[in-house]
Amino acid sequence: MTNRLASLLVVSLLARGVAAHATTIDGQRDPEYGPALGTQTTQTSLGDTPPGYNPFSPLTMAIGSELDGAHGFVSGSTLYLFFSGNLRSYVGEPLIAPDQLQIYVDCAPGGQNTLRADNPSVGPYLRLDQMAGLTFDSGFAPDYWLACEVDGPGPSQPFFAYYAELPTTGGGSGGTLGHADGGGTGTLTGGTNPFGIMASIDQTNRAGVDGGCGAAGGSGVTTGVEWAVPLAALGNPTGEIRVCALIARAGQPVQVSNQVLGPVPPGSCSLGAPVDIDFTSIPGLQYFSLGLPAAAPAPLAARLVLHEVAWGPGREGTVTFSLPRPGTAVLEVFDPTGRRIARRVADGLTAGPHVSRIVAAVPPASGVYFLGLRGNGEGVSRSFVIAR
């Protein structure tokens, strides 16, 4: 799409009362994330991506990994997470496996304070079951695992995302959620994603911490990895949500880096194999808290929220959204030229989350489309991809 056409489409949407959606899942930190919940204080043992690095795919390629900061909040029925920094991407010659960002979520009773060996074998280079033996801080027992990496040859270098359950007794389910291009809309394709989890990456960061093991500061970085996780994917938690994030490197054995949030103390280098790591023996807390799901930032919780757009193989799509007050929702789908191809008016809706179907006159062709949602005098929009 040309810049002029994109501009015309935005004008068209705004003219219909549809504003840009507040939290776009594109790997860039939006204002509603607020202050960091965790900030890196240690240089990266995985190497820096220096200011002079200028790859042919800047949104997905990096030669070092760092975890500079963590932000998050809950809005409506979705957990939003943002991790600033970089992830070393796949290199074919010589073969260099990508580094993996792993996110452990503790949001329910039970879970695994020490990771089990019978967890799902998810991931091509670094698998979840290879993390067996890693022990978290006392009182932290994750129930779910999210992970991502940049994999594959060629200029696009797709971004892959993964998900698994971590039941106390082991044997949970998990798999590949899908993949997406860097800096995209967050829509994952080509995997199994029943909850509609979204994720994206922007690797343009050249700030944050540098390489080494000493003291450093990760504040101020505004690009990295971003997730939108429906609370249904986390068992619809009602209590405190806590998160431990770390970057690990594939190998025999796997190596856990010093890039952890909450941070490990300056002077810590690579932490070693998972089986040798016990966070209770490391000063500080290697996790951070988002509080209760109801504790979303007031400005965003009081607004119309568009969570997800999913389109089936034919004429019909589904839209997941939340209304701040009872009322009517108007849903409209626009093609890349700005032409409206589908519309639905849903009356008498209660406040809270909703799932609505919307039907086009004919099956839309492959391409980038736009969903506009209006209700209670507000408007939001989101782009989404239809692939045939």
83-107 average pLDDT score? 85
- At 384 the pLDDT is 83
Q: Pull the structure tokens for residue 211.
A: 């390489």
**In the structure, what pLDDT confidence band is assigned to residue 97 with cuts at 50, 70 and 90?**
confident
For residue 296, the model assigns a pLDDT of 41
What is the reported pLDDT for 166?
A: 97
Rounded-to-integer distance, Cα 188 and Cα 17, Å: 28
Residue 295 has what pLDDT? 43
CA 264 to chain CA centroid, Å, is 23
d(CA 53, CA 72): 29
Q: Check residue 272 and report its DSSP letter.
A: B
Token digits of residue 257? 């880096």
Q: Which CATH architecture has domain 3-22+303-386?
A: Sandwich (2.60)
- Give the integer Cα–Cα distance in Å for 218 and 221: 7
E strand spans, the chain: 38-39, 66-75, 78-86, 100-106, 144-150, 159-165, 174-180, 189-190, 198-201, 224-230, 241-249, 255-261, 288-291, 305-311, 316-323, 327-334, 340-349, 352-359, 367-375, 378-386
Predicted confidence (pLDDT) per residue in 280-293, tens digit:
999 999 999 987 66
pLDDT at 19: 32
Q: What is the pLDDT of residue 153?
A: 56
Share of the chain above pLDDT 90, in %: 53
**pLDDT at residue 91, rounded to an integer:** 67
- On whether the CB atoms of residues 369 and 384 are closer than 8 A, the answer is yes
Rg (CA), the chain: 21
pLDDT of residue 234: 96
| pLDDT digit string, tens, across residues 109-132 | 999 999 999 999 998 889 999 999
DSSP code of 111? -
> Token pair of 344, please?
């639905």
Q: Is the pLDDT of residue 12 over 70?
A: no
Rounded mean pLDDT of the chain?
Answer: 85
Q: How confident is the model at residue 242 (pLDDT cuts 50, 70, 90)?
A: very high
CA distance 248 to 267: 18
Per the model's pLDDT, the better-predicted residue between 111 and 11 turns out to be 111
Would you say 159 and 226 are in contact if contact means Cβ atoms under 8 Å apart? no
Task: Indicate if the pLDDT at residue 268 is higher than 90.
Answer: yes
Reply yes or no on whether the pLDDT at 169 is more than 80.
yes
Buried-state track 221-251, b at ≥16 Cβ within 10 A, e below 16: bbbbbbbbbbbebbeebeeebbbbbbbbbbe
Give the pLDDT score at 383.
80
User: What is the pLDDT averaged over residues 354-366?
Assistant: 89
Q: Which ranges constitute the DSSP H helices of 62-112?
A: none
Distance between CA 37 and CA 87 in Å, rounded? 20
Q: What pLDDT sits at residue 20?
A: 34
Mean of the pLDDT values across residues 232-251?
93
Whole-angstrom Cα distance, residue 31 to residue 100?
A: 26
Helix (H) or strand (E) holding 14: helix 3-15
Look up residue 237 and give its two tokens.
Answer: 């938690």
pTM over 0.95: no
Listed ranges 156-160, 209-213, 296-300; the one with the highest mean pLDDT: 209-213
Q: Is the pLDDT of residue 9 over 90?
A: no
Instruction: Please give the residue that has the higher pLDDT: either 9 or 242.
Output: 242
pLDDT on residue 262: 93
11, containing H or E segment = helix 3-15
Domain boundaries, the chain: 3-22+303-386, 31-291
pLDDT for position 140: 96
CA angle 54, 56, 58 (to 5 degrees): 65
Burial 306-339 (b: 16+ CB within 10 A, else e): bbbbebeeeeebebbbbbbeebebbbbbbbeeee
In what helix (H) or strand (E) does residue 9 lie, and over which residues does it extend?
helix 3-15
Determine the length of the chain: 388
Given CA atoms 274, 275, 279, 281 in this order, what sign does their dihedral have?
negative
